[in-house]
Amino acid sequence: MPKVAFIGAGSMVFAKNLVGDILSFEALKDSTIALMDIDEHRLAQTTEVAEQIVENSQIDATIESTTDRREALDGADYVLNMINVGGTEPFENEIRIPEEYGVKQSIGDTLGPGGIFRGLRTIPTMLDIARDMEELCPNALLMNYTNPMAIVCWAVDEATDIDIVGLCHSVPHTAEAIAEYADIPLEELNYWVAGINHMAWFLECDWDGQDIYPLLEDATDDEETYRKDTVRFELLKHFGAFVTESSHHNSEYLPYFRTDEDLIDELTGTNYAERMSTATYLEGWKKRSEERDDALTGVNPDDVSIERSEEYASRLIHSIETDTPRRLNLNVRNEAGHIQNLENDACIEVPCLVDGTGIRPCSVGELPPQLAALNRTNVNVQRLAVEGALKGDRDVVHQAVKLDPLTAAELDLDEIHEMTEELIAANKAYLPALD
DSSP string across 297-339: TT--GGG------S-SHHHHHHHHHHT--EEEEEEEE-TT-SB
Of the residues 169, 173, 398, 417, only one is catalytic, namely: 169
Q: Which one-letter amino acid corresponds to residue 343?
A: E
CA distance 272 to 277: 10
Angle at alpha carbon of residue 383, lines to 377 and 388, rounded to 5°: 130
Polymer length in residues for the chain: 435
The torsion angles phi and psi of 104, rounded to 5 degrees, stand at: -100, 90
Q: Residue 273 has what pLDDT?
A: 45
Known catalytic residue: 169?
yes
CA distance 284 to 293: 14
Taking each helix axis from N to C terminus, what angle separates 413-426 and 394-403, rounded to the nearest 10 degrees? 130
| Region for 272 from its dihedrals, namely left if φ exceeds 0, alpha if ψ lies in -120 to 50, beta otherwise | alpha
SS3 259: coil
Pair 132, 99: CB distance under 8 Å:
no
CA dihedral defined by 409, 415, 418, 422, rounded to 10 degrees?
A: -50
Provide the 8-state DSSP code for 243.
B
Whole-angstrom distance between the N-terminal and C-terminal Cα of the chain? 46
Per-residue pLDDT 10s for the chain (435 aa) are 899 999 999 877 778 888 889 999 999 999 999 999 999 998 998 898 899 889 888 899 999 999 999 999 999 999 999 999 998 889 999 999 999 999 999 889 999 999 999 999 999 999 999 999 999 999 999 999 999 999 999 999 999 999 999 999 999 999 999 999 999 999 999 999 999 999 999 999 999 999 999 999 999 999 999 999 999 999 999 999 999 998 988 999 999 999 988 887 777 765 554 555 555 556 665 665 565 555 555 555 566 777 777 889 999 999 999 999 999 999 999 999 999 999 999 999 999 999 999 999 999 999 999 999 999 999 999 999 999 999 999 999 999 999 999 999 999 999 999 999 999 999 999 998 898
> 62, 114, 75, 80: which is closest to 10 by C-alpha?
80
CA distance 264 to 157: 38
The domains of the chain are located at 3-167
CA distance 53 to 46: 11
Pair 143, 79: CB distance under 8 Å:
yes
The CATH class given to the 3-167 domain equals: alpha beta
Angle at alpha carbon of residue 278, lines to 274 and 281, rounded to 5°: 50
Q: Residue 261 has what pLDDT?
A: 81
Q: Residue 279 has what pLDDT?
A: 54
Q: Residue 11 has what pLDDT?
A: 77
